[in-house]
Structure 1
Amino acid sequence: MAEGCMMALRYGMVFFNLLFWLGGCGILGVGVWLSVTQGNFATLSSSLPSLSAANLLIAVGTIIMVIGCLGCVGAVKESRPLLLTFFILLLLIFFLEILSIMLFFIYQDEIDHYAQRDLKKGLQLFGTEGNVGLTNAWMIVQTDFRCCGVTNHTDWFEVYNATRVPDSCCLEYSDNCGLDNPGTWWTAPCYERVKDWLNENLVALWIFALCTALTQILGLVFSMTMFCQAVKVETFYA
């Protein structure tokens, strides 16, 4: 009976971690693809220049692959140290995610204030040498979201020290259109536009978060059950 339970748990763990590992491979692949094909698209933040979409995906994908590999090998070999390591790492990530969500809602106003201040600081680097990624990022965001500046199109006036905005702020793009009449520019703030987009997709984000949490809980249950079963079997045959 115990051997049958261990076999079922082993197959369940291997299947779960194989999906986990393949998911990590997919995320890593997308991150590498973004890094290669969109290498100049970096971050909007001046204080966190390495916090780009590509780097985040590569880091997350690598972590998921390592954890999935640990769980898979631990299940196949019925290794208690590997199963316990997998459980601890997954539990730590789960608690960090919950803590991050709680802190986000508690300090939402402070985060908004800091993010806007940091983004405005980043505007000063727009178009400067060595900041091609940040420049391209702002151009893409303003074009795609049809917005201009962080909180107002006048944010750019301080950057240029003139009544001027980047050409990506124009209703109809053309060279040096940012020097034309303000009536030809987008006036919506980019920060609010991005927040509105996130709110519009809030249901999808929550579904993704719940699916992720459920997957992690199943991984925790499988690994700890298999670990306890392995201890019982070893004790029985000792």
Structure 2
Amino acid sequence: MAGGNTLLRRLSRQDRSEVNNVVKYLLFGFNSFIWLIGVGLICVGAWAAVQKNNINNITMLTNSIVDPVTLLIVSGVIIFIIGFFGCIGALRENIPLLIAYVVLLVIVLLLLVALAIIAFAFKSWLKKLIVETSLKDVIPKYRDDPDLKNLIDWVQEDWLHCCGLQDYNDWELNIYFNCSSPGMDACGVPYSCCIPDPNAAMINLQCGQNKRRPNEPNSDIYKQGCIDAGDAWFNTYIIPIAGVVVGVAVLMILGICCSWNLVADVKAQKAKWDKVPFERF
């Protein structure tokens, strides 16, 4: 029994308070919230996908990167994985999960910095890329997917007050608004391009018809393209946008530092326990 008492005394002298519980549970709580956000995005995206299946609206747009449902699900999965690694890694003091969490945060942080540099330093190239991609994937497929349609209508009508990408004539690329179309929307624009009438009791869904025909009055629609309108909005709110980006980056850097500190604490604690010699009772 003397040997056992000696071992117990040695164990009792070990520093069991080395792992910082404040950092541990702060990481756990924060990443639990992030994890729930990821789960919520996945659930909403899955529900939207099921709804599209139910009303037979799955089209070739489903596999496109501009599909809002796809973007929602992918974003949710990424956030879920990051939150899961941080949450479980902190709670269980699991070094591999914490390291994976740090690596993911570093990757996302680098992507955020790269996007910020591109947005500020290569604005012209980015605008050209958006125009080329959107003219191919967004305008022609406006009515192929209700989620994309609602997003475009919101951008044009409620957010930027614009029409098309470069200007309202971009809607010629859509088969429904093409001037050679036999439909009633030929040579027109979506209703979201119309300037709202404050005296109207209801939205006129046919207000954009024939607005691109020669000699047709079109003073009641937005002429500016959404690219230029978005650029103007960005320049107007550049300080708040930069503040949000910096705030997100600071939170990520704090997460990286706290996680790495927790990894170091766990390693130090394990090293101390590994030094305790085995003795027979």
Is the structural similarity TM-score above 0.5?
yes
Q: Look up the SS of the partner of 1:236 in the other structure.
A: helix
Give the Cα separation in 2 of the matches to 1:155 and 1:135.
15
The Cα of 1:112 is off from its aligned counterpart by 0.8
What is the total number of aligned residue pairs between the two structures?
232
Segment of structure 1 superposing worse, 19-28 or 219-228:
19-28
The Cα of 1:201 is off from its aligned counterpart by 3.3
Confirm or deny: 8 A CA contact 1:149 1:156 kept in the other structure.
yes
* 2:110 counterpart of 1:95: yes
**Which position in structure 1 is the counterpart of 2:189?**
166
The aligned amino acid for 1:201 is: Y
* 2:184 counterpart of 1:148: no
The Cα of 1:206 is off from its aligned counterpart by 2.3
Tell me which structure has the larger Cα radius of gyration.
Answer: 2
Pick from 100, 105, 108: which aligns with 2:123?
Answer: 108
Share of identical aligned residues, percent? 23
The Cα of 1:126 is off from its aligned counterpart by 4.5
Give the direction of change, closer, same or farther, for the CA distance of 1:4–1:89 in structure 2 (3 Å limit): same
The Cα of 1:109 is off from its aligned counterpart by 1.0
Give the direction of change, closer, same or farther, for the CA distance of 1:110–1:62 in structure 2 (3 Å limit): same
**Which position in structure 2 is the counterpart of 1:17?**
31
Confirm or deny: 8 A CA contact 2:194 2:207 kept in the other structure.
no
**Which position in structure 2 is the counterpart of 1:178?**
209
Pick from 19, 24, 35: which aligns with 1:6?
Answer: 19
Q: Look up the SS of the partner of 1:58 in the other structure.
A: helix
Structure with a larger share of its residues in helix: 1
Confirm or deny: 8 A CA contact 2:18 2:269 kept in the other structure.
no
Give the Cα separation in 1 of the matches to 2:154 and 2:27.
42
Give the direction of change, closer, same or farther, for the CA distance of 1:29–1:198 in structure 2 (3 Å limit): farther
Give the direction of change, closer, same or farther, for the CA distance of 1:80–1:112 in structure 2 (3 Å limit): same
Give the direction of change, closer, same or farther, for the CA distance of 1:134–1:22 in structure 2 (3 Å limit): closer
Q: Deviations over 1:158-184 (max 9, x none)?
A: 652379322423335352642152233
Alpha-carbon RMSD across the aligned residues, in angstroms, is 3.4
Unaligned runs of 5+ in 1: none
The Cα of 1:6 is off from its aligned counterpart by 0.6
Q: How does 1:217-236 map to 2 (within 5 A)?
A: 217-236=253-272
The Cα of 1:71 is off from its aligned counterpart by 2.0
**Which position in structure 1 is the counterpart of 2:244?**
208
Q: How does 1:39-118 map to 2 (within 5 A)?
A: 49-118=64-133
Give the direction of change, closer, same or farther, for the CA distance of 1:167–1:74 in structure 2 (3 Å limit): closer
The Cα of 1:98 is off from its aligned counterpart by 1.6
**Which position in structure 2 is the counterpart of 1:119?**
134
Give the direction of change, closer, same or farther, for the CA distance of 1:189–1:231 in structure 2 (3 Å limit): same
The aligned amino acid for 1:123 is: I
Give the Cα separation in 2 of the matches to 1:203 and 1:183.
33
The aligned amino acid for 2:128 is: H
Give the direction of change, closer, same or farther, for the CA distance of 1:209–1:34 in structure 2 (3 Å limit): farther
Confirm or deny: 8 A CA contact 1:13 1:75 kept in the other structure.
yes
Segment of structure 1 superposing worse, 93-102 or 155-164:
155-164
Confirm or deny: 8 A CA contact 1:178 1:185 kept in the other structure.
no
